[in-house]
Amino acid sequence: MAQPASDRDPTALRRRAIRDGLILFGLLATAYWYLVLGDSNWRGPSADGLVYWAVDPADPYRAATVGALNAYLYSPAFAQVFGVIGLLPREVFIVVWTLIIAMVAVWLARPWPAALLILLLPVSQDVVIGNIHVLMAAAIVLGFRWPGFWAFILLTKVTPGVGLVWFAVRREWRNLAIALGVTASIAIVSFAIAPQTWSDWISVLRGNGGNESGRLIPRLVLAVIICAWGGLTDRRWTMPLAAMIALPVIWSDAFAMLLGCVAVGRSPRATAGRVERPILVVEAQAEG
């Protein structure tokens, strides 16, 4: 029997070898982290998620120091939402929050399920500790069609919001206005409810960089460059990558955001009834 064309194609074979090598690396890294280093986060499920669940919306910044135990560092708006979610029993919240993050991770990886094995370590960490990196990746993916999802990023970790450079360099002013408008609307309502907490949060953001302050500025510059290049050349995968680079602090579970690079492969290429085309190509044709 003749071999399938894909089995004879050197490019396909090379890609398969790279994929299999990355899968092996992901599995080995995960085994080393949990079995050799003995990471014990799995014994305290949703450790970060419980910080959100237990936050006091009236005074959320009592232990607001990067890396401190039970430190809450997101916006008052996020705290107010969790003031309602926090009414759930602790065990119910852990189960529901963990399942949500796990299901979103699977949804992001649908175009290329092997990505879950390649990124098994950071994804499993994010699911176990209940942080929001997977959810941020989903917000970025959804934000291509519904820019209002960027409010989730701007009102939590803030600095990954440099991804909005994508809309600016492509002159997609409507999408940029929606992203900023939704964020501003939520912030205004939240401020009306608890203005003092907003003042406290701004003080936290201004004075809580710690050792990351010196590293954050170069990373932000790099993130802007990557996102601008991606926007001009229509490479959507650059936006989740740039947002991850721009995180205030990059922990190992932050690499779960790279699932967003996989998911944009299935993002709709058409908006408002027309097919999107790379700006550089359109301009070159216009000049010709």
Summarize the confidence of residues 165-193 as an average pLDDT: 96
Summarize the confidence of residues 260-266 as an average pLDDT: 84
Is 11 inside a domain boundary? no
At a CB cut-off of 8 Å and minimum separation 6, what does 116 contact? Answer: 105, 106, 109, 123, 259
Is 15 inside a domain boundary? no
Range name among 57-61, 119-123, 214-218 with the lowest pLDDT average? 214-218
Confidence at residue 66, expressed as pLDDT on a 0 to 100 scale? 66
Residue 104, pLDDT > 50, answer yes
Is 146 inside a domain boundary? yes
| Interatomic CA distance for residues 131 and 46, integer angstroms | 8
Summarize the confidence of residues 70-79 as an average pLDDT: 89
Confidence at residue 79, expressed as pLDDT on a 0 to 100 scale? 94
Residue 102, pLDDT > 50, answer yes
Compute the mean pLDDT over every residue in the chain, rounded to the nearest whole number.
85
Residue 227, pLDDT > 60, answer yes
Is 12 inside a domain boundary? no
Confidence at residue 209, expressed as pLDDT on a 0 to 100 scale? 55
Summarize the confidence of residues 159-176 as an average pLDDT: 96
Is 206 inside a domain boundary? no
Packing angle of the helix pair 120-129, 47-54 (nearest 10 deg): 30
Q: Which domain covers residue 47, as residue numbers?
A: 23-199+211-287
Confidence at residue 270, expressed as pLDDT on a 0 to 100 scale? 35
Residues 233-254: tens digit of each pLDDT: 999 999 999 999 999 988 889 9
Q: How far is CA 106 from CA 99, 110, 115, 249, 256, in A?
A: 11, 6, 10, 25, 12
Our count of domains for the chain comes to: 1
Summarize the confidence of residues 42-71 as an average pLDDT: 81
* Local structure of 196: helix, strand or coil: helix
* 256 contacts 123 by C-beta, under 8 angstroms: yes
Range name among 86-100, 236-250, 253-267 with the lowest pLDDT average? 253-267
Phi/psi of residue 53, nearest 5 degrees: -60, -35
Is 183 inside a domain boundary? yes
Within 10 Å of residue 72's Cβ, how many Cβ atoms? 22
pLDDT grade, residue 20 (50/70/90)? confident
Is 1 inside a domain boundary? no
pLDDT grade, residue 260 (50/70/90)? very high
Confidence at residue 7, expressed as pLDDT on a 0 to 100 scale? 57
Residue 269, pLDDT > 70, answer no
Is 8 inside a domain boundary? no
**Half-sphere exposure (CA, 13 Å, Cβ side) for 94?**
12
